[in-house]
Amino acid sequence: MLMLRSVIITAGISLGIAFVIRFPSGVFFIPILIFLCIKGDCISIIWFIISSGLVLLCSGIVDFFTWGSLFHAPVEYFRFNILENKSSAWFGSEPVYWYLKILLVREHILEELLLFIFILFFIAGASRSIFCLSVFIFYLLCFSVISHKEFRFIIPLFPFVLILISLGIDRLMVFKSEKAGRFFTIF
C-alpha cells in the first residue's frame, strides 16, 4: 500500500510539473481522477490532489512574484485560448480530424506497412491497459474539438502511444512464448 501511495504522489507531482511546463497537460488530470474514483480509494485521491496541488501552488507563488498576481500565467492562457478564443482568430482553425491528417498524410511519419504493424501493436496494448487508452483518447478528443490546432498540442500523447505499442509487443511475446512452450511440451 505504501508503494501505491508513493506512485500516486509521484504521479501528482509529475502532472503538476507537466501542467506548469505546458498548460494543456492539465487535461490529463481528469481521466486520472476518474480512474482513482472508480477504484474507490479516497486516500489515493487525496494524496494525488495534495501532491499536484502543492506543485501548482508553488507555480502560483512564482507567478505572484513575477507577474504580480497568483496563477497569472494559467489564468491568462485560459482567458486567451478559451474565453476570448483569440488563438483561433490569430492562428486560424482546423477540422476535428486535423491531427490524424498531419500524422498520416502530410508528415509521413509512418509508412503504410509500419503504420499497420504499429496499429496492431497499439490495439493489442490498448486491450491490456484501458487506463492508458482512455487517457490517450480523452486528451485527443479534448484537443480535437478546439478550433485552433497545432501539432505540438498532441506531443504529450507520444509517450502513451509508445507505452501502448510496447504493451502490444509484450502481449505478442507472451503469446509466442506460451505457444512455443506448448509446442515443445508436446514433443
C-alpha neighbours within 13 Å on the C-beta side of residue 180? 6
Residue that is written with C-alpha cell 509446442 in the block: 183
pLDDT in tens, 40-53: 888 889 999 999 99
Cα angle value 117/130/155 (rounded, 5°): 65
Contact 56, 13 (CB under 8 A): no
Please state the φ and ψ torsions of residue 153, each to the nearest 5 degrees.
-65, -30
Question: pLDDT for 134-158, tens place per residue?
Answer: 888 888 888 888 888 787 888 888 8
Chain segment 46-84, per-residue pLDDT in tens? 999 999 999 999 999 999 999 998 999 999 988 888 888
